[in-house]
Chain A
């Protein structure tokens, strides 16, 4: 990443103390700003916080919520036991249909902790409970327009 890019990341992180313990909050900020965590961005975080590139990479790649396909918005459909029992697979197919041709990645999510309102989906900042195909399709389109 060029100096300008690193400067931009430094600006994003300027109120965080430059220390290892701030790595996770720093990665969240970068992901929420760029909607991606590319090797270049990981390099910039490494430089700004003074933590080795391999260490930052090792941490960043561990967490599933940082694993975004660059330039696409993730849509999470819970497919764990309780949601699977109540139609999660079908819901995922509907979400994929709504997302076709859009910069959206439909992902199977581990348990979202909404088992009492299964099936659940997580789209944008919102958790959808007792999600129906229609609600999911609308939410997918809203994420794209928003």
Chain B
């Protein structure tokens, strides 16, 4: 089927991505006019009917989240765009904000209107300075075009902390505290920024909202599967000929992503696929056979214990020592653990030691016990999911060279 461009602007869209002309060319001005003519409940009904799920990795139904925030008691509510994209192999939000920053911002304004928030934050990682500037210029366009309608949007720059992308850690960061995750529940929909109900969404989710309202529900659901309508950005990197970000419908065969000349365009390096790490650093290693036989949808991948995650797909040819990759991932988690809770602080260090000593076979019981403790007792997703890639590697002996 090849590449679709809905979230990413179609190639014929040529206007300056940060300009008022772009607002019109993409129909985002119409999207805002449409929602302002609706009551907030109807806006949320559209989002629910579209079937949009969160695109940051958790795939939580967006309409349900918006309803919770709208209904949560509280005078003050906040909306937040999470642009703290920092997971290795993940760069889709960067590309989306480079190419179409007004889309995600329009989605943020729609979200503010729907849940009743007057204050919005865009939290962007400190390493994305050029993208931050694009976002600031786009925001100025919205201000001058009178599209903000009283919503105060503030851009917040992170300063180099992967964990700050975790939603409750991000709140602490904005509040001027150490970006350490909070225990959930209470969930952000009830108690988020400064203990007020807060809607936090990934950049790509908000871009989906913008294109939804620039069209309608039936247009939106033309692509994708009945359970997961719409399109997904995938970020291809490593040993793949056309590394980059592509938009594909949910349900597309993974094999198409690898070999379609408009998508991955075939495996690079040796030309023979060794494995794909799907979903990011806490993702799942897939064998070439699994890649050939599964689709980009949650049900198909669940059978493998895998998920789409952020949409990251890291390709490794058959010459790469995946034990080395697993060690790199373990180091990443050990360095990025905030240290607040013991299962994660100690667990990520133990995993690193085991992996660096290549003891994944001799200490497999330790790994499994540790993974269980980390999953059940860590405060946030970092500790809970840090062992996943290693476990998937252990479960697939064909990925290990028989030395």
| A interface list, Cβ under 8 A from B | 19-25, 27-28, 51, 55, 58-59, 62-67, 76, 80-82, 84-85, 109-118, 122, 125-127
CB neighbours of B157 from chain A (8 A): 24-25, 28
**B161 contacts which of A23, A63, A81, A112 (Cβ < 8 Å)?**
A63
- Cβ of B159 within 8 Å of any chain A Cβ, yes or no, is yes
Contact B91 A127, beta carbon cutoff 8 Å? no
Contact A63 B91, beta carbon cutoff 8 Å? no
Residue interface bits B83-122, CB-to-A below 8 A is 1, else 0: 0011111110011000000000000000000000000000
Smallest CB–CB gap between B27 and chain A, Å?
28
| Cβ-closest chain B residue relative to A109 | B127
List which B104-162 residues lie within 8 A (CB) of chain A. Answer: 125-130, 156-162
Q: List 18 A-B contacts (CB under 8 A).
A: A21-B175, A51-B176, A63-B161, A64-B159, A64-B160, A80-B88, A81-B89, A84-B328, A110-B160, A111-B88, A111-B332, A113-B85, A115-B88, A115-B89, A115-B238, A116-B91, A117-B243, A127-B127
CB neighbours of B244 from chain A (8 A): 116
Tier of interface size on chain B = 35 or more
Smallest CB–CB gap between B97 and chain A, Å?
11
**B159 contacts which of A66, A115, A125 (Cβ < 8 Å)?**
A66
Interface centre among B174, B176, B238 (most CB of A within 10 A): B176
Report the Cα distance A58→B339, complex, angstroms.
13
**B91 contacts which of A67, A85, A115 (Cβ < 8 Å)?**
A115
Given pairs A62-B178, A113-B85, A115-B314, 14 additional interface contacts (CB within 8 A): A21-B176, A24-B157, A24-B173, A51-B176, A59-B176, A81-B329, A82-B88, A85-B239, A112-B127, A115-B243, A116-B95, A116-B244, A117-B243, A122-B127
Report the Cα distance A88→B235, complex, angstroms.
20
| B interface list, Cβ under 8 A from A | 85-91, 94-95, 125-130, 156-162, 173-179, 194, 235-239, 243-245, 314, 316, 320, 325, 328-329, 332, 335-336, 338
Contact B332 A80, beta carbon cutoff 8 Å? yes
Contact A62 B162, beta carbon cutoff 8 Å? no
CB neighbours of A28 from chain B (8 A): 126, 157, 159
**B176 contacts which of A22, A80, A109, A113 (Cβ < 8 Å)?**
A22
Smallest CB–CB gap between A116 and chain B, Å?
4
| Cβ-closest chain A residue relative to B133 | A125
Contact A116 B237, beta carbon cutoff 8 Å? yes
Contact B178 A59, beta carbon cutoff 8 Å? yes
CB neighbours of A25 from chain B (8 A): 156-157
Smallest CB–CB gap between B321 and chain A, Å?
11
| Cβ-closest chain A residue relative to B338 | A62
Contact A110 B178, beta carbon cutoff 8 Å? no
With contact pairs A24-B173, A115-B243 given, residues A110 and B88 touching in the complex (Cβ less than 8 Å): yes
| Cβ-closest chain A residue relative to B162 | A110
Report the Cα distance A22→B316, complex, angstroms.
43
